[in-house]
Amino acid sequence: MTPGENGPSTPEDDDPFGYLYADGQARGAQPPSGGYGYPNSVSRVRTVGERQYAQQPQYGQPTVPQQQGAYAQPNAHYQAPETLPGGTPPGRQPAPPAPGRRGPNTKGLLIGAIAVVAAVVIGIGVAMLNGNDDKKTDNEADTTPTQSQSHAPRPSASSASASDALHADASALTPAGGAAKASDVKGATSSDGSYVTGLNQPGASVTWNVNAPSDGSYTLFVYYSTADDDQSMTVTVNGTPFGSKLGMVNYRHAKNGDFANGWTYSYVWPTLKQGPNTISVSCGSGDKCNALISKVKLKQGQVKKDV
């Protein structure tokens, strides 16, 4: 053997695990001594259950308490942090519960809905009131006469009822010359349905005694009914005939004899003195007097509508 050479090598020397292969075993490779097939390893084979984990301490050694408990059993030496004095360590405080989410503000929604409904109801009421006012305005007739002694259309029973004391129904008037009171014809504008008839003959008249509150001009409204032809009669104030006739136009276009559908009014503008005054409507010479008179009324000043 020369220096630097180790001599011929054998497979078992080259490969320590050659004994595991068939060709290595054919060359006589043997497993190395020791445990688990590794060189110089120590194998201490014991029967199952022979190993003791809790060895009795030898004499003179300190006793170490056993800390490993049986399988699936708690370790008697373990204590939870919260059971220790002082409770949970400061660094591991439990997280506070998350605040709950607030639901919708149902009270606010309810108040808002009520406000909207109230606004709608108020709007509908205002619209209805305005509609009624407009309708009433449209239905009002223009009764403005075209002449100082012209006639106005027949007013309703409610508007015919005067609110002042300067008025008189036929029942409070004094008929004369063949005129008389009656109530057979329907639609008279007096409060009791009465009227004066029989005025269609010369000399027939109806008289009203009234107290004027002051001197001055007044408007005398005479409520009447006529049928077919227009009529005209004489007005006398305190014994003096008025300058023009009281025109009684058939504004209702009532047919001959249909006095129930001919009710309306006309007016003149006499001058009265303060205190008692006597006013008469009569059938004078040349007059056409086929009319019924239901009531008379005075208003201060010269007006054209009895409103």
Could you write out the DSSP letters of every residue in the chain? --TT------HHHH-TTGGGSHHHHHTT--PPSSSTTSTT-------TT---SSPPPPTTSPPPPP-PPPTTS--TT---GGGSTTSS-GGGPPPPPPPPPP---HHHHHHHHHHHHHHHHHHHHHHHHHHHHHHHHHH------SSTT-EEPPPPHHHHS-SSSSEEEGGGSEEETT-EEE--STT--STTS-EEE--SSTT-EEEEEEEESSSEEEEEEEEEE--SS-EEEEEEETTEE-SS-EEE--TT-PPTT-GGG-EEEEEE--EE-SEEEEEEEE--TT-B---EEEEEEEEES--S---
Distance CA 22, CA 223 (A): 152
What's the rounded mean pLDDT across residues 56-63? 52
Determine the pLDDT at residue 176.
97
Contact between 294 and 169 under an 8 Å Cβ cutoff? The reply is: yes
Higher pLDDT, 276 or 36: 276
Out of 98-107, 190-199, 266-275, least confident range: 98-107
Q: How far is CA 145 from CA 113, 137, 149, 214, 261, in A?
A: 55, 19, 8, 26, 20
More confident residue, 142 or 263: 263
Residue 227 has pLDDT above 80, yes or no: yes
Compare 180 and 145 and report the one with higher pLDDT.
180
pLDDT above 70 for 240 = yes
61, pLDDT greater than 60: no
- Can you give the pLDDT at residue 135? 44
Is 60 exceeded by the pLDDT of residue 66?
no
Residue 159: pLDDT band by 50, 70, 90 thresholds? Answer: very low
Name the pTM for this structure.
0.49
Average pLDDT on 270-279 reads 97
Output 280 or 54, whichever has higher pLDDT: 280
Higher pLDDT among residues 245 and 146, named by residue: 245
Predicted local distance difference test score (pLDDT) of residue 226: 96
Considering only the C-alpha atoms of the chain, give the largest distance between any 2 of them, rounded to a whole number of Å.
191
- Residue ranges and CATH numbers for the domains of the chain are 10-36 (no CATH), 153-300 (2.60.120.260)
pLDDT at position 138 over 80: no
Q: What's the average model confidence in pLDDT over 286-293?
A: 96
pLDDT for 78-107, tens place per residue?
Answer: 555 555 555 555 555 555 555 555 555 677
Does residue 197 carry a pLDDT above 80?
Answer: yes
Q: Which of these ranges, 139-143, 152-156, 292-296, has the smallest mean pLDDT?
A: 139-143
